[in-house]
Amino acid sequence: SSAQLSKKEYLLIELLLNKKQLIIPYDVIESLVWQDGLMSMDALRTLVRGIRKKSYPNIISNVNGIGYKIDL
């Protein structure tokens, strides 16, 4: 779709794409995407939901208790 990505959405996609074979741990996402403060798990889930809605439902998968990875 043509929906614009927010800055955080863009940063998260870029991070996942740069390391697409890897699971990115929550703390790495927090330090690289939430540069302005603390990330809650709810905020992260909301961010991922937004990316899925604007792109593809299955583009990002959660690895429970560890982090996220991109599925391309």
Alpha-carbon span 21 to 64, nearest angstrom:
17
Q: Are 26 and 48 in contact (CB under 8 A)?
A: no
Statement: 7-70 belongs to CATH 1.10.10.10? yes
Q: How many CB atoms lie within 10 A of CB 8?
A: 20
pLDDT tens-digit readout, 3-59 = 799 999 999 999 999 999 899 999 999 999 998 789 999 999 999 999 999 999 999
Q: What are phi and psi of 25, to 5 degrees?
A: -65, 155
**Whole-structure pTM over 0.85, yes or no?**
yes
Yes or no: say if 33 and 39 are a contact pair by the CB < 8 Å rule.
yes
> Residue 1: is its pLDDT beyond 70?
no
